[in-house]
Structure 1
Amino acid sequence: MSRKPADAAVPGTPATVALTRAGIPFTAHPYEHDPAAPAYGLEAAEALGVEPARVFKTLLADTGGTLVVGIVPVDAQLDLKALAAAVGAKKAAMADPKVAERKTGYVVGGISPIGQKARLATVLDESALEFDTVFVSGGRRGFDVELAPADLVRATGATTAVIRRR
């Protein structure tokens, strides 16, 4: 894996800037995004020719006034009870998309767990640890970054737990 600085081929996003500044190696994977795609994460997996279990989506949940980031495979759902338990909250509900966009600085469908406006508590589903590398949004629709799960944990300050359900 190589570090990819922002240039004409690699979108310069807060995620790529944060990874580059931190010295974390990653590979940029731009792809042609279809605005009519019903599921952005599954679209990414198909466009990149990667098994969906290696492509992770970034979801925001509200745990009673505090936002939390959950990162789960695109072929799974976020288990809100498990996410709440992982951060010591009683319950969690999906965050309002407009709030998620405002707090992260990204648009829905392109929310990266890396380089968000504010550092939020983050939980990565532990299934990511089964792979040498995983894919997450690079900060815009049609752009993913590939990196080692340990580097994703380091870049986001994440903890790991089982927070997915099939």
Structure 2
Amino acid sequence: MNEPAAALPSSAQRVADLLAAMGHDKPVTMLPSTGRTSAEAAAAVGCSVAEIAKSIIFRRVADGAPVLVIASGANRVDEAKVTALTGPLGKADAKFVRDTTGYAIGGVCPIGHVVKPVMLIDRELFNFDSVWAAAGHPHAVFNLTAAQLEKMTGGTVADVRLDAAPAAN
């Protein structure tokens, strides 16, 4: 006999409902432990850290708009590259993240924001058959392709990776 599925936390259920409305056929998955970091999420779903689509929020200085960068979990984001595309950036504190996205840090989903963000998608996510993104809660994720991510969000695909420092001679 199958056990009924446990109810999702309200923020994850909101994401599940948005995904269903978009015709996305993969469920929101609750992790047994937190997925706040890319390494934790990758270990929980059994993929590489690079296959985690992590969400990083900045505040654009000019107008206070949220800027969401969806980056490969293996990459550090180059703020200079993002600034060149969006204008000068400031830090986004937990209140700003919650107020503009509707999600807590560690669970920021690429969709369903309170305020539509300026969005950049790390081009390196397209190197994978699929990626895992936060689903509105630190323990919730969902699987999709980078092309689906681009279509769902309307984000701009860009090179946002901080390049490794050149080796000293």
Output the TM-score relative to the length of structure 2: 0.83
Instruction: Give the aligned residue type for 2:24.
Output: I
Provide the residue aligned with 1:126 in structure 2.
Answer: 123
Instruction: Give the aligned residue type for 2:130.
Output: T
Instruction: Give the aligned residue type for 2:120.
Output: V
Q: Does 1:100 align with 2:76?
A: no
Provide the residue aligned with 2:22 in structure 1.
Answer: 22
Q: Over aligned residues, Cα RMSD in angstroms?
A: 2.0
Contact map agreement 1:19 1:155 (CA 8 A) in 2? no
Instruction: Give the aligned residue type for 2:54.
Output: K
Q: Does 1:53 align with 2:36?
A: no
| Cα distance in 2, alignment partners of residues 22 and 107 from structure 1 | 23
| Cα distance in 2, alignment partners of residues 100 and 16 from structure 1 | 20
Output the TM-score relative to the length of structure 1: 0.84
Offset of residue 71 of structure 1:
0.8
Instruction: Give the aligned residue type for 1:100.
Output: V
The gaps in structure 1 that reach 5 residues or longer are 1-6
Deviations 1:110-138 (A, max 9, x none): 11111112221111100011112111001
Contact map agreement 2:122 2:159 (CA 8 A) in 1? yes
Offset of residue 9 of structure 1:
4.2
Identity of aligned residues (%): 26
Rate the CA distance shift 1:14–1:80 in 2: closer, same or farther, 3 A.
farther
| Cα distance in 2, alignment partners of residues 22 and 67 from structure 1 | 23
The gaps in structure 2 that reach 5 residues or longer are 165-169
Provide the residue aligned with 2:65 in structure 1.
Answer: 66
Contact map agreement 1:17 1:115 (CA 8 A) in 2? no
| Cα distance in 2, alignment partners of residues 97 and 57 from structure 1 | 16
Matches within 5 A, 1:139-154: 139-154=136-151
SS at match of 1:140: coil
Offset of residue 8 of structure 1:
3.3
Deviations 1:70-116 (A, max 9, x none): 011222222111112223x1x22331221011111111111111111
Provide the residue aligned with 1:3 in structure 2.
Answer: none
